Amino acid sequence: MRVIRPLLLTLAATALMASLTGCVVAPVQPYAYGPPVYDAGYAAGPPVVGYVWFNGFWGYDRGVRRWNGGHWGPRR
């Protein structure tokens, strides 16, 4: 009886520690709301006379929401 009791306690403690090692919490993935803080994306003026700036927008690319930057282009 003196040998069995410490053995059972050791086995119980080992089983308890082994069961607790599976408790892992994954960190939350960061998610950006809205457009970037400040990203004008263009310098002084248009590359060609008559071009205008088209602002960037949020769009979907293969089911993932992504920021599409603005660009210079001809007037529509």
Domain boundaries, the chain: 37-76
- Residue 2 above 60 pLDDT? yes
| pLDDT at residue 23, rounded to an integer | 66
Amino acid at site 22: G
- Closest C-alpha among 56, 63, 22, 27 to residue 73: 56
3-state secondary structure of 4: helix
CA distance 65 to 50: 32
Query: Binning pLDDT at 50, 70 and 90, where does residue 69 land?
Result: confident
DSSP 19: H
What is the per-residue pLDDT for 51? 92
Per-residue pLDDT of 10-63, as tens digits, reads: 888 888 777 776 666 777 766 666 655 555 566 668 888 999 988 888 888 888
Residue 7 confidence (pLDDT) above 80: yes
Q: What is the CA angle 33-35-40, rounded to 5?
A: 160
